[in-house]
Amino acid sequence: MKKHLVVALAYDRLCTFEFGCVTEVFALERPELDVEWYRFDVCAVEPGPLRAAGGIGIAAPYALGLLDHASTIIVPGWRDANEVPPEALLKKLRDAAARGARLCSICSGVFVLAAAGLLDGKAVTTHWRYAADLQRRYPSVKVQPDSLYVDEGNIITAAGSAAGLDMLLHLVRLDYGGAVANRVAQRLVISPHREGGQAQFIPRPMLTAESDRLSTLMTWMREHPALPHTLRSLAERAAMSPRTLQRQFLSATGFGPYEWLVRERVAIARELLETQAALPVDQIVDLVGFGSVESMRRHFRRVTFTSPAAYRKKFGNGQKAPVVTHK
C-alpha cells in the first residue's frame, strides 16, 4: 500500500506558526511508533518566491498538481480572510473533495474551503475573531465559534493557531488509534485531549482571588471525578456562594460547573477506553463518577458524538488493562 500522503499548502505571506504545527506532526520521522508513518509534502498555491510571517522565505517543491494525489490536504491559515483564493486552487480542492480526500483547515484557512463551496450545510469552526464574519459571509455554513475543532467526516476545521494541534492529533488518532496519538502528544509535550472550547481563551478581566480559588477547585475536581459533587458542596469547598461559583465557571470556561464536570468525566473516560482495553465499562462508570452505564453513554455521545463502545473499538490499543484503584 502507498503511504498516506499529507499535503500542506504554502502561499505568499504564509502563516508560519500554523504551517509549523503541520510539519511538526506529519513531517518528522517517528521510528519509535513502529507504524508506517505518513508521507508529507508541500505544494505552492502560486509561483514563488513565497514569504512567510517573520521574513522567512519559502521554496515549495511542488505545484498544485500534487493535490491530485493527496489523501489529506491541510490549509494552514490564509493570508487575508477577505481575499478570494486563486480559482485554480479552489478547483483542485473541489476535485479532491469529490474523490474523497480529507480536507482540513486551521484558523483563517476555513475561508479557503468556504470559498471553494465545500462547507455548505456543514458545521465548522475558526478563530473566535473570525467566527461572526464567516457566518455573515457564508450563511449556509453552521459556524460553531466555541469549538476547538469540528469533524464533519472528510471536512475537518480547527479554531485559531494552537487549536490546529488539537485537530492534527485528532487526525493521527483517526488514522492510527489513541495509543499512537498519545505518544505523538507526549513528544510534542502537549495534552492529547483538551476539553472545553474557545470561550476560555477570549480576553477576560485580570485574575482575582476568586479565580485563584476556582483554579484550585477545578484541579481538585479533576483529581476526584467519582465523588458526588453538587453545586453547593463545590461552592463550600471554594469558599464562594453558589451564584458566584456559577458566574466564575461561566467566565473562565464558557460552561457551568456541572457541564464542565461532565466534560472532564468524559475526558477521563476517553483516556481509559483508549488505554485500558480490558477494563469493563461499568468500572469506568465508577471511576469517573457517572453513576450508571446509561448516564455515561448519554453524556459520552453528547460530547463526542459517538458511543463508548464505538470509541473503544476505534481508538483502543487492545492491550490488557492493569489493575486500577481509586480513592
Q: CA 89, CA 9: separation in Å to the nearest integer?
A: 10
- How many CA atoms lie less than 13 Å away from 79 in the CB half-sphere? 16
Q: CA 127, CA 37: separation in Å to the nearest integer?
A: 29
Tell me the pairing of strands 56-58 and 50-52.
Answer: antiparallel
Residue 21 a catalytic site member: no
Catalytic residue among 21, 43, 104, 107: 107
Q: Provide φ and ψ at 326, rounded to 5°.
A: -145, 160
- In this structure, the number of other CB atoms found within 10 A of the CB of residue 122 comes to 18
- In this structure, the number of other CB atoms found within 10 A of the CB of residue 81 comes to 20
Alpha carbon 228 to chain centroid, angstroms: 29
Tell me the three cell numbers of residue 291: 453513576
Q: Residues with catalytic annotation? A: 107
